[in-house]
Amino acid sequence: MKDHKEGMWVKLGEELSHLIPFLDSERTHEGAESIDDALESSAEGIRALKLSLVGLMLTALFQAGIVFASGSVALLADTIHNFGDALTSLPLWIAFALSRREANCSYTYGYGRAEDLAGVAIVGVIFFSACVAGYESVSKLINGSEVSNLAWVAAAAMVGFLGNEIVARFRIRVGKRIGSAALVADGEHARVDGFTSLAVLVGVGGVALGYPILDPMVGLGITVAILFIVKDSAQAIWRRMMDAIEPEIVENIERVASETAGVSKVKFVRARWIGHRIHSEVGVQMSGEQSMAESYEVSERIREAAQRNVPKLERLTVEMGPTSR
C-alpha cells in the first residue's frame, strides 16, 4: 500500500514537471501578446476618433455658416446631425481610453464594457439631434420659410456629403481592423449622414423651381432617416449589452474544438464581446484517459486553433471532462 502511494506521488510530480514549462513560457507569452494587441487596437481606435472628430467638426462649422446666411431648414437639420455625429466621437474616445486600463480585483474582466455604455450615449445624442431637426422642420412648415444663397446651400450639401463619406470609410476600415462594432456602426452612421446631406440638394432644387415648401419637407425626411439610424443603433447596442454574438463565431469555435485530437465531443460553447474583444468558454469531453499534462496540451491546441480562426478572440477557457461510460 505504501509503495502504491509513493508511486502515485512520483507520477503526479512527473506530470506537474511537464506542466511547469507551459505555465512559465507559452501561456504567459500568449497572455502578454493578447494584452499588447488589445492595447494597440484601442490606441488605433482613439487615433481614428481624433481625426474623424476634427473632420466632422470642420464640415459642420462650414455648414453652420451657410445656414446662418441662407435660412435653409433642410441644411440646418443636416448640420445639427453632423454636429451630433462629431460629438459621438467623445464617448467612444473615453471608452477606448478606459479599455486600456488593466483588470483589477473589482473589474476582473477589465473595462471593455465602457464601449457598450458609450454606444448608449451615442444613441442618445443621435435621438436628440432628430428631435431638434424635426422641431425646426415642423416650425418652418407651419410658419413658412425663406431660403437664399442657394448656390452656397448646394455647396454646403456637397461638403457635408464628402466630409461624411471620408470619415465613414476611415471609421469602418479601422473598426473592422481592430474588431470594434461600435466604431464600424459609427462609420455606417456617418455614411448615411452623407446621403442625407445630398438630400438637401432636393430642397435647393425645389426652392429654385418656386416650391420653397420642399426645404422643410426635406428636413422632415432627414429627421425620419435619423430616427431609423436610432432604431438600428439601439438594436445593435442592446444585443451587445445582452451578450449576443454572431452565430458564425460560435460555430467556428465549436468546429475547431471538435476537430482537435483528443476531443470526442463538444458539450457547450459560450462567447461574448467585451468591448472589441471576444471572451469564450468551451466544454469538451475527452476521447480517452489522458494525463494532466496531456489534457493541458489538448486545451492549448484548442486555444491556439481558435485564436487563429477567430482573430478577435482574446481569451478562451476550456473545461475538460472525462469520457462518458
Give the tens place of pLDDT for each residue, 29-83.
Answer: 334 344 444 445 667 777 777 887 888 888 888 888 888 878 777 778 778 777 8
Q: What are phi and psi of 2, to 5 degrees?
A: -65, -40
Helix 73-87 with 27-70: angle, nearest 10 deg: 160
Three-state DSSP class for residue 244: coil
CA distance 219 to 199: 9
**Can you give the pLDDT at residue 36?**
40
pLDDT at 298 over 60: yes
What's the mean pLDDT when you consider all of the chain? 77
Give the count of alpha carbons within 13 A of 4, CB side only. Answer: 1
Q: Classify 35-241 by CATH class.
A: mainly alpha
Its pTM surpasses 0.85: no
Domain spans of the chain, in order of start: 35-241, 243-325
**Fold of the domain spanning 243-325:** Alpha-Beta Plaits (3.30.70)
Q: Is the pLDDT of residue 154 over 50?
A: yes
Answer yes or no: are the C-beta atoms of 79 and 98 closer than 8 Å: no
> What mean pLDDT is predicted for residues 285-289?
81
pLDDT of amino acid 31: 40
pLDDT tens digits for 15-27? 433 433 333 333 3
